[in-house]
């Protein structure tokens, strides 16, 4: 009971802490739009050159550009707080609704990537770290080193060439086969087939990061007193590794996974662009292409909110894994 109450209070405290960060993001958004060459109405709508003078006048009125800067700032702030992220003139839809329809695919891709990269990263890091400088360690370490240096978009394109164009095992792009009209489990299977390549692409870099971290962490834990104790008790190396070292060595991975959420969203812009995966990353790319900056600002704001939420979830998981860390 009291644990549940502590947890609720902790989450509330963390949400309150997120307010200044969100304020910073909104302020940065506002500053960027106003720092840009030309005025905000040009930036927000006119860059493609298709705007008529009448339309610009409407926009200027709408953005209150005749008002002093601080009034504009407060207006902008009030809009964001009431979750009004403006209107995308290119897509003909409110930005908020546009993002809402795209959030699901991104969350699916991110979730799969997190599970895949942490799972494989921890496993390979453990295999490498328990037998340092062996052939096994060297193969895994070189694989991690190369994956760590490879640009995501390039991995994606090469996987498309190999598995979609040459071997024809998997689809090149999209999330569903539009022509097939699958329902039920057939649809789930279809989405899963489309998910394979994007998820592998996005996972590779983070997996490499976790392998390196896990290997170092295992090497550090190997000489700890509790391992010596376990060994002197007569436990097998296998039991020591899987029951004791694994749990302790995984903690830095959880921390790092929380830190990487923001970067993961950045990476998904690239991966969704390569694979035509209909999430907020592809939306950001399309917004970029159409010079629809209002939509781009909205995606950035929602992505930041997502990062903050996921971080809170990660911290709660952390306290469940390691009871020594109290909820503060």
Q: Cα–Cα distance between 311 and 281 in angstroms, integer?
A: 19
Nearest to other proteins of 235, 256 (CB atom) = 256
* Long-range contacts, 160-166 (Cβ 8 Å, 24+): 160/197, 160/274, 160/275, 163/197, 164/197
Site residues for other proteins per CB under 8 A: 20-21, 24-25, 28-29, 32-33, 35-37, 43, 132, 145-146, 148-154, 157-158, 160-161, 165, 216, 219, 259, 262-263, 265-267, 269-270, 273-274, 284-285, 288-289, 291, 293, 296-297, 299-300, 303-304, 307-308, 311
**Rounded to the nearest whole angstrom, what is the least distance from the CB of residue 36 to other proteins in the complex?**
5
Nearest to other proteins of 88, 273 (CB atom) = 273
Nearest to other proteins of 13, 289 (CB atom) = 289
**Rounded to the nearest whole angstrom, what is the least distance from the CB of residue 182 to other proteins in the complex?**
26
**Rounded to the nearest whole angstrom, what is the least distance from the CB of residue 235 to other proteins in the complex?**
24
Q: Which of 95, 27, 33, 109 is nearest to 283 (CA)?
A: 95
**Rounded to the nearest whole angstrom, what is the least distance from the CB of residue 279 to other proteins in the complex?**
13
Q: Which of 245, 169, 253 is nearest to 206 (CA)?
A: 253
**Rounded to the nearest whole angstrom, what is the least distance from the CB of residue 311 to other proteins in the complex?**
7
Nearest to other proteins of 51, 274 (CB atom) = 274
Q: Cα–Cα distance between 314 and 318 in angstroms, integer?
A: 6
Q: Which of 301, 307, 312, 253 is nearest to 24 (CA)?
A: 301
Nearest to other proteins of 230, 303 (CB atom) = 303
| Backbone φ and ψ of 261, nearest 5° | -55, -45
**Rounded to the nearest whole angstrom, what is the least distance from the CB of residue 136 to other proteins in the complex?**
16
CA atoms within 13 A on the CB side of 98: 26
Q: Cα–Cα distance between 293 and 4 in angstroms, integer?
A: 42
Nearest to other proteins of 267, 278 (CB atom) = 267
**Rounded to the nearest whole angstrom, what is the least distance from the CB of residue 8 to other proteins in the complex?**
22
Nearest to other proteins of 241, 273 (CB atom) = 273
CA–chain centroid gap for 251, Å, is: 20
């Amino acid at each position: 009971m009291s644990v549940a109450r502590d947890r609720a209070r902790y989450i509330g405290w963390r949400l309150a802490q997120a307010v200044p960060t969100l304020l910073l993001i909104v302020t940065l958004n506002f500053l960027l739009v106003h720092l840009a060459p030309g005025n905000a109405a040009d930036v927000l709508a006119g860059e493609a050159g298709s705007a008529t003078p009448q339309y610009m006048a409407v926009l200027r009125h709408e953005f209150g550009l005749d008002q002093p800067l601080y009034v504009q700032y407060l207006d902008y702030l009030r809009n964001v707080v009431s979750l009004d992220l403006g209107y995308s003139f290119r897509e003909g839809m409110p930005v908020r609704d546009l993002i809402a329809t795209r959030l699901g695919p991104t969350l699916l891709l991110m979730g799969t990537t997190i599970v895949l990269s942490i799972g494989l990263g921890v496993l390979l890091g453990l295999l490498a770290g328990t037998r340092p400088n062996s052939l096994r360690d060297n193969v895994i370490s070189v694989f991690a080193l190369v994956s760590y240096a490879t640009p995501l978009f390039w991995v994606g394109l090469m996987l498309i060439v190999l598995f979609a164009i040459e071997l024809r095992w998997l689809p090149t792009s999209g999330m569903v086969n539009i022509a097939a009209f699958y329902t039920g489990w057939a649809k789930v299977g279809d989405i899963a087939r489309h998910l394979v390549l994007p998820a592998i692409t996005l996972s590779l870099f983070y997996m490499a990061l976790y392998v390196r971290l896990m290997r170092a962490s295992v090497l550090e834990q190997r000489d700890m007193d509790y391992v010596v104790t376990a060994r002197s008790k007569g436990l097998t190396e296998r039991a020591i590794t899987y029951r004791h070292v694994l749990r302790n060595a995984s903690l830095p991975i959880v921390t790092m996974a929380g830190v990487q959420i923001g970067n993961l969203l950045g990476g998904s812009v690239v991966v969704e662009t390569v694979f035509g995966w209909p999430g907020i990353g592809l939306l950001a790319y399309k917004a970029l292409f159409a010079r629809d900056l209002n939509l781009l600002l909205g995606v950035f704001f929602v992505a930041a909110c997502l990062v903050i939420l996921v971080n809170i979830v990660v911290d709660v998981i952390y306290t469940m894994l390691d009871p020594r860390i109290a909820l503060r």
